[in-house]
């Protein structure tokens, strides 16, 4: 069986992205590899071994066009209201909390927040299939 180990996104500004992911989700640099032309950063926290890989291309000066193919990266939290309030107070401008029902039953409580490069991150209440 395959084991999911990381997802990767390209970012324009290393420090700005590191600050965002640390403040928003408590992700720290697990490894950093500088190849001169580009840097690979692997971020994680104690909640999971799954990592977010940030790729920073040295010669890049323009923001990446995200297009319409990228969906989102998702994290789960114990208290959706508290996390929404914390990100709001931190000035990270999360979207409103929403609820998704399926066949009349609660499937998910969630909100989205965008990182400095415009990538959307879904923040889900840790319940049901989103534990």
Please report, to the nearest 10 degrees, the dihedral formed by the alpha carbons of residues 110, 18, 85, 77 taken in order.
Answer: 40
Active-site residue, selected from the candidate residues 14, 47, 95, 122: 122
Angle (CA) 39 44 47, round 5°: 175
The count of other CB atoms within 10 Å of the CB of residue 124 is 21
Q: Verify whether residue 122 is a known catalytic residue.
A: yes
88 vs 37: CA distance, rounded Å: 36
The secondary structure element, H or E, covering residue 12 is none
Catalytic residues: 122
């Amino acid at each position: 069986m395959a084991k999911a180990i990381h997802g990767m996104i390209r970012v324009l500004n290393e420090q700005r992205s590191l600050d965002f992911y640390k403040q928003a989700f408590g992700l720290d640099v697990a490894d950093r590899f500088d190849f001169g032309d580009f840097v690979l950063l692997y971020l994680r926290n104690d909640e999971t071994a799954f990592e977010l890989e940030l790729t920073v291309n040295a010669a890049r000066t323009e923001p990446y066009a995200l297009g319409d193919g990228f969906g989102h990266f998702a994290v789960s939290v114990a208290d959706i209201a508290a996390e929404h309030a914390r990100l709001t107070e931190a000035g990270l401008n999360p979207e409103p909390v929403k609820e998704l029902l399926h066949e009349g039953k609660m499937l998910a409580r969630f909100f989205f927040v965008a990182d400095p490069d415009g990538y959307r991150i879904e923040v889900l209440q840790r319940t049901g299939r989103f534990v």
